[in-house]
Amino acid sequence: MCNSPAPTDGSIEYLIQPQSRSKDSTKGIMFTIRARHDITVTGFDIPPKRSKSCNMQVYTKKGDYRYFKDGLTEGWSTLFDKNMKLNTKRLEHIQADKGDGVFIPKWKIQSFIIYCNRG
């Protein structure tokens, strides 16, 4: 599992540095990582910006999302899709719904979207 903050052992490299908290009205974050050795991402710990219920969704796609012009329906796989009660006083853990997570081979790139419909 990639914990929050990201592992410090050098196992992943952010190609787009995510921000831990946003002061604006964003509802999600899109980011790309490159594995420095074989890793499996099984979940995320996120810092909610609001305490409320929301539909949390996580999607993934091989490669860098900056080069894709298609929408979420083309090539993105759903890792997580559930209603959650978020609490700003703790990190919220999101565990992959399907299979054993996402395997990323050494030096390969994988993109992720973490989205909450209520911000």
Domain membership of residue 96 as a residue range:
12-116
5 found inside a domain = no
pLDDT for the residue 1: 39
Exposed (0-12), middle (13-18) or buried (19+): which is 31, by Cβ within 10 Å?
Answer: middle
62 found inside a domain = yes
Q: Mean pLDDT of residues grouped by 10 in the chain (119 residues)?
A: 48 52 68 91 85 90 72 75 89 81 94 84
7 found inside a domain = no
pLDDT for the residue 40: 92
Contact in structure between 79 and 1 (CB atoms under 8 Å): no
51 found inside a domain = yes
Cα separation, 52 vs 119, whole angstroms: 9
Instruction: Please tell me the pTM assigned to this model.
Output: 0.74
1 found inside a domain = no
4 found inside a domain = no
Q: Could you tell me which residues come within 8 angstroms of residue 63 by beta carbon, excluding any fewer than 6 positions away?
A: 109, 110, 111
Domain count along the chain: 1
